């Protein structure tokens, strides 16, 4: 039934001359054929537990990492699938990036800190693909609970202009400076000291199709237009 004659007795990466394209393509074809044979055997059967998980993982890897060439043979896909599984040993790990140049594989830790006491007030671990600001509201749930103390991507209780000492304040970099999060803080009566994200749009494009400056060279800063014309520039959604 299986194409390869070693029956996968040894774990790890198969041994071959990976620099030889023909040999490499033959190996990939054999592995792909065996994968589809296994999935075909399981199709329509009621399985559970480890077998179901292994089958789902096998189908995911084959679907995301392989493509069929013009000659009908399987080959490694020249693309990166969305939400790509990067490890069969740890299938929850993901590609991620901190900046355009700084990449990571695995997981990302989110830890708000009280700036006065320097106590870590919460911890959340996510796959590496999750953005820093995606969990902002969860990280300050005790502040949102209106108990006067809290956590953030940094937060503290501060003084307002009237001298009150019970102002709830959140500090963070521009990952937490989205309009949505700032609106959330305002509705909750929490002062935002997060760095505001720059409004960037591609020339002639508005709304969901707008691209950030690091994704498209033809961008203009809305705040530059506003400064030049000394008018407010409405953002279209």
pLDDT tens sequence across 131-144: 888 999 999 988 86
Assign 80 a pLDDT band (cuts: 50, 70, 90): confident
Q: What is the pTM of this model?
A: 0.62
pLDDT in tens, 13-61: 788 888 998 998 899 999 999 999 999 999 888 888 899 999 999 999 9
Whole-number pLDDT of residue 64: 94
Structure tokens at 62: 């084959």
Whole-number pLDDT of residue 211: 45
> Rounded mean pLDDT of 179-189?
91
Q: Residue 210 and residue 203: Cα distance in Å, rounded?
A: 9
Assign 235 a pLDDT band (cuts: 50, 70, 90): low
Q: Residue 88 and residue 129: Cα distance in Å, rounded?
A: 17
Q: Residue 68 and residue 97: Cα distance in Å, rounded?
A: 30
Whole-number pLDDT of residue 212: 45
Q: Calculate the average pLDDT of the chain.
A: 78
Q: What angle do CA 57, 62, 7 make, to 5 degrees?
A: 80
Sorted by sequence, the CB contacts under 8 Å of residue 97 that are 6+ apart come out as: 103, 104
Burial 126-151 (b: 16+ CB within 10 A, else e): bebbbebbbbbeebbebbbeeeebbb
Q: CB burial class (10 A; 0-12, 13-18, 19+) of residue 68?
A: exposed
Residue of higher predicted confidence among 210 and 82 = 82
Whole-number pLDDT of residue 107: 95
Q: Please, what is the angle between helix 21-42 and helix 49-65, to 10°?
A: 140
């Amino acid at each position: 039934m299986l194409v390869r004659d070693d029956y996968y007795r040894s774990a790890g990466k198969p041994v071959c001359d990976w620099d030889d394209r023909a040999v490499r393509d033959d190996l990939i074809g054999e592995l792909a054929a065996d994968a589809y044979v296994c999935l075909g055997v399981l199709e329509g059967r009621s399985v559970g537990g480890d077998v179901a998980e292994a089958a789902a993982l096998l189908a995911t890897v084959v679907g995301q990492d392989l493509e069929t060439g013009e000659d009908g043979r399987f080959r490694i896909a020249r693309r990166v699938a969305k939400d790509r599984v990067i490890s069969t040993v740890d299938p929850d790990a993901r590609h991620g990036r901190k900046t355009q140049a700084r990449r990571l594989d695995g997981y990302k830790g989110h830890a708000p800190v009280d700036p006065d006491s320097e106590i870590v007030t919460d911890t959340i671990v996510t796959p590496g693909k999750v953005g820093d600001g995606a969990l902002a509201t969860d990280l300050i749930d005790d502040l949102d609970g209106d108990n006067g103390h809290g956590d953030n991507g940094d937060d503290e209780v501060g003084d307002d202009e009237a001298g009150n000492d019970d102002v709830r304040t959140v500090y963070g970099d521009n990952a937490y400076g989205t309009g949505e999060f700032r609106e959330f803080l305002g509705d909750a009566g929490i002062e935002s000291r997060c760095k505001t994200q720059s409004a960037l749009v591609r020339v002639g494009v508005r709304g969901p199709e707008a691209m950030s400056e690091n994704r498209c060279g033809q961008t203009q800063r809305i705040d530059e237009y506003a400064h030049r014309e000394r008018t407010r520039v409405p953002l279209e959604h």
